[in-house]
Structure 1
Amino acid sequence: MTNLVYIIDDDSSVREALEEWLALADLEARGWTSAEAALQTIDESFAGVVVSDVRMPGMDGMALLQKMPKNIPVLLITGHGDIAMAVEAMKQGAYDFIEKPFQPTHLVDAIKRACRQRSLLLENERLRKALASQQGLESILIGDSPGIKRLRRHVHELAQLDVDVLIHGETGVGKELVARCLHDFGKRAKHPFVALNVAAIPENLFESELFGHTASAFTGAQKAQAGKFEYANKGTLFLDEVESMPLHFQVKVLRALQEREVVRLGSHQAVALDVRVVAATKEDLKKAGDEGRFRSDLYYRLMVAELRIPPLRERREDIALLFAHFLKLAAQKHDKEAPELRGDDWIALESHNWPGNVRELKNLAERYLLRSQFSDESIREVLSGEKLDMSSPSDQSLASRVAEYEKAVISAELTAKKGNINQVMEELDLPRRTLNQKMQRYGLRREDFLGG
Structure 2
Amino acid sequence: MTEPLEKTPVLIVDDDPSMRAALRQWIRLAGFGTLEVATADQAMAKLSPEFSGCVVSDVMLEGEDGVALLHRIAALDGDLPVVLITGHGDVPMAVEAMRAGAYDFVEKPFDPDHIAEVVRRACERRALVLENRSLKVRLADAAGLEGRLIGNSPAMQALRRQILHFAGTGASVLITGETGTGKEVIAQALHDFGACKDGPFVAINAAALPDAMVEAELFGHEAGAFTGADRQRKGRIEAADGGVLFLDEIVSMPLGLQPKLLRVLQEKKVDRIGGVKPVDVDIRLISAANVDPREAVKSGRLREDLLFRLNAIEIAVPPLRERGRDALLLFETFLNRFAVQYGLEVPETTAQDEAFLQTYAWPGNVRELRNAAERFVLSAGVGPRPLEALITGRRDEGIPASGGGLKDLMDTYERNLIESALRRHGGRITDVMRELNLPRRTLNEKMVRHGLSRDLAAADSGDS
TM-score, L = length of structure 1: 0.58
Contact 1:214/1:223 (8 A) holds in 2:
yes
SS state at 2:393 partner: helix
Residue 328 of structure 2 corresponds to 320
Please state if 1:294 is matched with 2:325: no
Distance 2:325 2:425 in 1: 23
Matching of residues 25-64 of structure 1 within 5 Å:
none
2:344 to 324, 336, 341: 336
The residue type paired with residue 222 of structure 1 is: D
Contact 2:183/2:288 (8 A) holds in 1:
yes
* Structure-2 change in CA distance of 1:405 and 1:356 (3 Å): farther
Matching of residues 12-23 of structure 1 within 5 Å:
none
Residue 395 of structure 1 corresponds to 426
The residue type paired with residue 158 of structure 1 is: F
How far the C-alpha of 1:392 sits from its partner, in A, is 4.1
Residue 232 of structure 1 corresponds to 240
How far the C-alpha of 1:402 sits from its partner, in A, is 9.5
Please state if 1:345 is matched with 2:353: yes
The residue type paired with residue 395 of structure 1 is: G
Contact 2:335/2:346 (8 A) holds in 1:
yes
Q: Deviations over 1:267-315 (max 9, x none)?
A: 1111111110000001111222133221000000101111000000110
> What are the ranges of 5 or more consecutive residues in structure 1 without an aligned counterpart?
1-133, 408-452
Residue 282 of structure 1 corresponds to 290
SS state at 1:269 partner: coil
How far the C-alpha of 1:404 sits from its partner, in A, is 7.1
Matching of residues 235-254 of structure 1 within 5 Å:
235-254=243-262
Q: Deviations over 1:72-97 (max 9, x none)?
A: xxxxxxxxxxxxxxxxxxxxxxxxxx
Distance 2:257 2:372 in 1: 38
TM-score, L = length of structure 2: 0.56
- Cα RMSD (Å): 2.2
Q: Deviations over 1:91-137 (max 9, x none)?
A: xxxxxxxxxxxxxxxxxxxxxxxxxxxxxxxxxxxxxxxxxxx9311
SS state at 1:264 partner: coil
Residue 12 of structure 1 corresponds to none
The residue type paired with residue 160 of structure 1 is: G
Q: Deviations over 1:220-270 (max 9, x none)?
A: 111111000011111100000001011111111111111111011111111
Distance 2:222 2:195 in 1: 31
Question: How many residue pairs align between the two structures?
Answer: 274
Q: Deviations over 1:414-436 (max 9, x none)?
A: xxxxxxxxxxxxxxxxxxxxxxx
Distance 2:204 2:143 in 1: 28
Point out 4+ residue stretches in structure 1 off by more than 6 angstroms.
386-389, 398-407
Contact 2:252/2:301 (8 A) holds in 1:
no
Residue 319 of structure 2 corresponds to 311
1:144 to 137, 152, 156: 152
The residue type paired with residue 217 of structure 2 is: E
Residue 219 of structure 2 corresponds to 211
Distance 1:330 1:237 in 2: 31
* Structure-2 change in CA distance of 1:386 and 1:365 (3 Å): farther
Name the % identity. Answer: 43
Matching of residues 2-21 of structure 1 within 5 Å:
none
Contact 1:168/1:309 (8 A) holds in 2:
yes
Contact 1:164/1:303 (8 A) holds in 2:
yes
SS state at 2:382 partner: coil
